Chains A and B, each alone.
Chain A
């Protein structure tokens, strides 16, 4: 629709300018918190106390960032959030990969190897998307205890995988349902089995939905606080929990610049993922069927 031909009357041009002005203003408004955070995180404390929130820093410094990363106190310890940052990665990466893989296999089986009750099973799995996190906190804690995974990284990964499967299955099922069944039939006749067909035929055409699933899961799990706070031990806390502890630590002066820098650090990975791959996210969500 980009190249619809229309005569440009002065009135139409004026309308267009008004439209863009509104959009830019709205965008600025939404960007404001980020800007304030960024500005605050590179100001020395005195400047924050003296100046306005939106004033540009007179003597920009990266010290708050360094402090947030390596020295700030999160509760009892004063080692910064750097270690927890890596903790988050150690939880998020396996959880994203495993939940995406299982979701893909589920979607593949539910669409291309239908069985009696497969539609019902899918409908039940969808419930998983709507279950509030709080409801499962206690049973989950008990289950992790039984499994011997309480307060461990593996336990937290398990929780995220279990919760993610509902969403990833939904994504992949809706993508694979549009793949012609004859494609899989042809591969069966060619002699390929369940996993081989998935690996060689389906997965290579799944890039759009893989991107969607990975971005979605990454943001969800990275930003999770509740499960992190409930199920992680001291050494396995994700960065969101550490950030909370850092901000709430009440010894000494309140260092807003360090708080802001820590918040920026905690938010950075999801920002980066979104900026780099956001375009594919939208494209993947609207991707059509695979042409044979």
Chain B
């Protein structure tokens, strides 16, 4: 069973092809890295998989469901129920505390549970900073809040767009450890990264160039 199947997906902005005829599959519980130069279409692909954007052509099957046929409202529901998002920029609501930011994801998903949200923050080592606003946190801490938020609803698939791009080494290994834990718990993970070190954590690495798959590397070999 595959959590994700991408079939002949293209995305163009006018005459510019951000993605051209992409085909790939991700098995249930697998970890995939996406690498490639800037502008090669990594974020574009992640946004399409994450139900935040639609391809120009082709189909995406997420957990057995063709999401390219769905309306924006239905996409919102899928995103909420199946996907945990970690963004390239750490997007947090600026006027809510770390804890409230995590609880916001619970709120839109189903029901707030402060204890559970605190546990998630504890897991990313931020229990003591639960009442801090984003601007009172460092970049690494903000990214960890985003991870706590992404895992709070037990998503089947975690999408992380350069989760360590703005972090130092210490924070990077913290974040990677967290992803490993989630992976062991059974989540499927797709990570976009520029760093070969980070990419190596995955079972497979896909390299994009000019919107096409240039190479598929098996990291286990």
Question: Real complex partners, A and B?
Answer: no
